[in-house]
Amino acid sequence: MTGPVLEHLGEMKMELGPAHETAHPWRRGEADGIVWLALDCEGTGTNTVSEAVIAALETELEALEQDTPRALVIRSAKENGFAAGADIDSFADLSDAGAAELLRRGHAVLDRLTALGCPTVAVVHGAALGAGFELALACDWRIAVDGASFGFPEVNLGLHPGLGGTFRLTGLIDPLEAMTLMLTGKTAHTGKAKSLGIADVVTEERHVRAAIDAIIDGKVDRDGPGLKARAFQVDQARRLAAQRMHRETEKKAPQEHYPAPHALIDIWEEHGDDPDKMQSAEIESFAHLLGTDTSRNLRRVFFLRQGLKENAKGKDGIHYVHVIGAGEMGAEIAAWAAIRGKRVTLGDVDLKPLGKAVKAASALCKDTHLSAVETRDVLDRLMPDPNGYGLKNADLVIEAAPEDPDLKEKIYADAGERMKKGAILASNTSSLRLADLAKGAPDPSCFAGLHFFNPVSKMQLVEVVRHDSTDPDVAERLSAFCGTLDRLPVPVSDYPGFLVNRALTPYLMEAMVLIDEGVSQEVIDTAAMRFGMPMGPVALADQVGLDICLHVAESLKGALDKPMPEISPRLRGKVEAGQTGKKAGQGFYDWSKGTPRPDSEDSGPGDLTDRLILPMLDACMECLRKNVARNADEVDGAMIFATGFAPFRGGPMHYAEARGHDDIRTALQALADRHGDRFAPDPGWTDD
Amino acid sequence: MTRPVYLVDGARTPFLKAEGKPGPFTPVDLAVQCGRPLLARQPFDRHIFDLVILGCVNVIADEMNPARVAALRLGMGEEMVAFTVQTNCGSGMQSIDTAFRYIQDGTHEMILAGGTEALSHAPLVLRQEAVEWMGALRAAKSPMQRAKAAAGIKPHYLKPVVGLERGLTDPITELNMGQTAEVLAHRFDIDRKTADAYAMESHHRLAHAQSEGWLNDEVMPAFDRDGAAYDHDTGVRPDSDMAGLAKPKPAFEPPFGKVTAGNASQITDGASWVIVASEEAVEAHGLTPMARIVDSEWAALDPSVMGLGPVLCSTPLAQRNGLGVADVDLWELNEAFAAQVLSCLAAWQDADFCRDVLGLEEAFGQIDRDDLNVDGGAISLGHPVGTSGNRIVLHLANAMQRRGDVKGIATECIGGGLGGAMLLEAT
């Protein structure tokens, strides 16, 4: 709602008690014998629990220990939530030796908070993540304002909780649930947080004051730790549970690449019955993990994401979106845009795919945990539009038609007659050159590529492709549009396959050459997964769609100077037989029973991994040298967020850097000598 | 102050025959399904409407004031005033009439007026005895009292009442709507065969209009969450014939009655909207009106012969505007029942009836079947009660444009003993 009444009243009226006067990082106020501390970090909209925040809390606690009030309330003064976690920027400065000492000091402050001789109440609205969650856990009580969420995302940074989370959460709730939260990095939303026992009270912002009074007056009950929690006081029980956790974790995060979750399991297994020992072990382990390559690289991935998000700043000025083509991609782009609040029309000449698109959108709403009312609103915003009525209203028209230049030209001619002035036309093409398509566009300066990856709702990257006459403002608006869709835009220039497909295609095609040479697809995929890919190249090709892969490969083959692997006759055969991969239920793998999970003991030919990975790196270098992408960080971000390139390696260019450009060049040259010119190292490798 | 008022555009959903279980759409879902494309094809912003009026008879509990719910779901903005009207089968025309008068008097410029109904969603209602039993149970305090109250249940309490049946029964005369048609068939000597022949023609006309594409601008495809797309009125039977129509037994007064499921309107779900605008609004937004709304009239009569409602309202409407039967180029007379439509036609040709009831000096005259319900009607496409009055006005405007007609009347009989009529003129 954006009407004048709510505009006047404001989005929300926050209950800050007497702590209304601005101060940093803690606003303090006292009334009725209750002290309020409201966290308000300076110069940012989001609280982080920095060293300064902890130090200032220590000062407050010193005073409170001298003159203890009836109760202490801790909350955030920021509208957007409680606290996002620790200050990740500062992690880099924490040297291995200094880290443990600094952590011990932080722990001591939270221990003092826990020991304070009066009830302490954390009021949480929005997200309490990482160190923010740990701060809330150090209080006696937690009030969750509806919409609050709690989580430990540390594992995504190659770490585990480090400010007391491990022993406080396993001590508070069912230890298995606690471990699951910490191992998966998932957040517990309000209802779940209540049922787990993280939140003692769930209420609305307007009743926060009354809820605090109820707690202080002893009117709120809570269950003690259950039978199950006590059972895990027994070493044997923890040992068995830990073994199972290791096994489950190994499947998704092998210890070799991802040590943190395994370290966390070990800590709990060893010390789950002794909070003091667990606390010490947590500190030691966290300090150690900070120094691992995995954590460094995963923190790098975090900053790569921030960097791409920066590209999405600014206003998109796009309220109405019209998508042309209700195929799989068009339908999901439309559904996702509607979920993210855009008014969307989805055009297609056929009613059948439009119906399917509505069904798919409804399923996507379910997958994204939308409520019945939210789902209704999404489906209301998403209008199937067989008559193309939406074209004239759209601020952005996204063409997601089949990859046929003549068809697209016709579509552009029709759209041009109906689109309003200044509206942007963007193509989701993955294989055609924009410069060619632009000739048919109504206004080439308002024409660009907007290349989504499949599935749109999961793959975070979008390539925003400029051709020579794309207005820079148009490209920026498209990037901002990606931001409103919660996607990460990477600006690239018009080049065969743009960035991602240019880099990915040799990898996929080489895998098929290997199959033709007699290496089994399971061996190939296992090698790639051992390198750290979430999925091997053969399974990935199936998932992308073999027809699309073939189309991209053919168009790249004709357009690039560099030789590409020969297109496997097997691939053509599959496409001709309609076995196009996941969507058909059968490609190289049988998908009828879900995603294939190849696992092979055989490690294949000695140069197998390099044969797969190095051509991808080489293409990335080529794109950098030719300014297809702006810098190595964006290349790394793009490859990680579009293809899942082994995140713990920090991206292809970062991996190349770590391995050494000389080594990459030499290895490529050796492959070229053995297997042909397609491996010839790019001139870019010799630059350093 | 009276200003010219125009019908600018309109659209409806396909009418979906009830299949014995709740259909895919609630009343507001239906209104949204056809409202979205209608608003999307306008050259103006959807926020500029002054008002939304929606007719709906069977409002469901989740959608109180469906007009307002629909307006918000259509993205017309939180500041959109909206109200719902209910005059039974006249609801969808009442919304247009109210819009017409508000604009005519100068207080409004542009109004979205519609009708919606999901008869397949009509609830099963608890018997009054069952409600009282539950109340007693709830009021019981001690376990003994509760046990005693619980024991008071009788098996027939649990037999639900079909809400739709009650809704289609006149509460004053206790006559079902079908029975009122039987009364008219008897009074005007309409036999089963004539009624069946009328019904067959209705199906053939609708099928023809569908195949000619005459409904393409009027009927917007609807899409449900299970992926089904509905692009046409599903009750149509293009191959309807006399042998087939002779089969069904009398539905309301067996075994001797003449009104059957075959020659009565169908139970369906559907919604319809029209955009009503002032001359200023038409000019300001560069719109091309479909027709001008000239005048309207409502009339009332004994509920047991409610089917003659169209005669009682249309005749004074025509007369007031100086029109004889030959001056009206096209009629949409809602087909509640074949016998009821035929009785109206008979009444207009009956000099005694016209003299005694309508105060005419002679019979009003014969309406040519070629100028009446030319593209079928409620018998072939169904009668979602709150919607039909809107649909006949919309379709009248569309058919007049296609045929090049100058004057047309849309009229309907209304359960409870009313009739409504609206006069359109080509622009």
Instruction: Give me the total of CB pairs closer than 8 Å, taking one residue from chain A and one from chain B.
Output: 56
Amino acid of residue B188: F
Residue of B32, B40, B225 with shortest CB distance to A390: B40
Where in the sequence numbering do the catalytic residues of A fall?
430, 451, 463, 501
Chain B residues touching chain A at CB-CB below 8 Å: 32, 36-37, 40-41, 43, 73-75, 77-79, 221, 223-229, 231
3-class DSSP state for residue B301?
coil
- CB contacts of B73 in chain A (<8 Å) are 376-377, 380
Which positions 196-225 of A are in contact with B (Cβ < 8 Å)?
none
Tens-place pLDDT, residues B86-136: 999 999 999 999 999 999 999 999 999 999 999 998 777 778 888 888 888
User: Is there a common fold for A14-291 and A500-686?
Assistant: no
Cα gap A368→A374, rounded to integer Å: 11
Rounded mean pLDDT of B317-334? 97
The domain made up of A14-291 has a fold known as 2-enoyl-CoA Hydratase; Chain A, domain 1 (3.90.226)
Whether residue A18 has pLDDT greater than 60: yes
Residue of A1, A345, A379 with shortest CB distance to B78: A1
The domain made up of A313-486 has a fold known as Rossmann fold (3.40.50)
- What residues are paired with A65 via a beta bridge? none
Residue of A377, A380, A389 with shortest CB distance to B41: A389
Residue B111: the pLDDT is: 98
CATH 1.10.1040.50 for domain A500-686, yes or no, is yes
Tens-place pLDDT, residues A320-376: 999 999 999 999 999 999 999 999 999 999 999 999 999 999 999 999 989 999 999
Q: Which two tokens stand for residue B111?
A: 């109004």
Cα gap B213→A482, rounded to integer Å: 40
Residue of B45, B73, B225 to mutate, interface with A, max A Cβ within 10 Å: B225
- CB contacts of A345 in chain B (<8 Å) are 40
- CB contacts of B45 in chain A (<8 Å) are none
Rounded mean pLDDT of A632-647? 96
Looking at this predicted complex, what is its ipTM? 0.92
Residue boundaries of the structural domains of chain A: 14-291, 313-486, 500-686
Tens-place pLDDT, residues B376-391: 999 999 999 999 999 9
* Contact residues for B245 (Cβ-Cβ < 8 A; gap 6+): B196, B199, B200, B260, B262, B263
- CB contacts of A390 in chain B (<8 Å) are 40
B165 CA to chain A: closest CA distance, Å? 30
Cα gap B271→B283, rounded to integer Å: 28
B77, A3: Cβ pair inside 8 Å? Answer: yes
Tens-place pLDDT, residues B183-223: 999 999 999 999 999 999 999 999 999 999 999 999 999 99
A144 CA to chain B: closest CA distance, Å? 29
CB-side neighbour CA atoms (13 Å) of B414: 26
Where in the sequence numbering do the catalytic residues of B fall?
89, 383, 413
Residue A10: the pLDDT is: 80
Residue B355: the pLDDT is: 97
Cα gap A136→A151, rounded to integer Å: 11
Rounded mean pLDDT of B176-183? 95
Residue A97: the pLDDT is: 61
Short-list B220, B286, B387, B278, CA closest to B49:
B278
A134 CA to chain B: closest CA distance, Å? 41
- What residues are paired with A35 via a beta bridge? A30, A72
First to last CA, chain A: 55
Residue A146: the pLDDT is: 94
Consecutive H or E run containing B268: strand B268-278
Residue pair A250/A290 in contact by the 8 Å Cβ criterion: no
CA angle A415–A420–A423, rounded 5-degree value: 85
Whether residue A224 has pLDDT greater than 70: no
Tens-place pLDDT, residues B249-261: 999 999 999 999 9
A33 Ramachandran zone, left/alpha/beta (phi>0; psi -120 to 50): left
Which positions 317-346 of A are in contact with B (Cβ < 8 Å)?
343, 345
Residue of B40, B79, B225 with shortest CB distance to A393: B40
Residue A652: the pLDDT is: 98
H helical segments located in A348-467: 351-367, 372-381, 405-418, 434-438
Q: Which two tokens stand for residue A500?
A: 């991602």
Cα gap A399→A347, rounded to integer Å: 10
- CB contacts of B63 in chain A (<8 Å) are none
Residue A229: the pLDDT is: 73
B78 CA to chain A: closest CA distance, Å? 7
Whether residue A547 has pLDDT greater than 70: yes
- CB contacts of B75 in chain A (<8 Å) are 343, 380-381
Tens-place pLDDT, residues B329-375: 999 999 999 999 999 999 999 999 999 999 999 999 999 999 999 99
Residue B155: the pLDDT is: 80
Tens-place pLDDT, residues A76-121: 999 999 999 888 888 877 765 688 999 999 999 999 999 999 999 9
Residue pair B263/B407 in contact by the 8 Å Cβ criterion: no
A365 CA to chain B: closest CA distance, Å? 11
B227, A1: Cβ pair inside 8 Å? Answer: no
Cα gap A427→A438, rounded to integer Å: 10
Q: Which two tokens stand for residue B308?
A: 């003659």
Q: How far is CA A505 from CA A496, A563, B251, in A?
A: 11, 12, 68
In chain B, % of residues over pLDDT 90: 86
- CB contacts of B43 in chain A (<8 Å) are 392
Consecutive H or E run containing B85: strand B81-85
Short-list A345, A344, A352, A348, CA closest to A325:
A348
Whether residue A225 has pLDDT greater than 70: no
Q: Which two tokens stand for residue A575?
A: 């496409």
Consecutive H or E run containing B66: helix B66-73
Q: What average pLDDT is seen over chain B?
A: 95
The pLDDT-based confidence of A214 (bands split at 50, 70, 90) is very high
A368 CA to chain B: closest CA distance, Å? 16
Residue pair B303/B416 in contact by the 8 Å Cβ criterion: yes
Q: How far is CA B180 from CA A336, A413, B340, B417, in A?
A: 53, 58, 8, 10
Amino acid of residue A244: R
Whether residue A382 has pLDDT greater than 60: yes
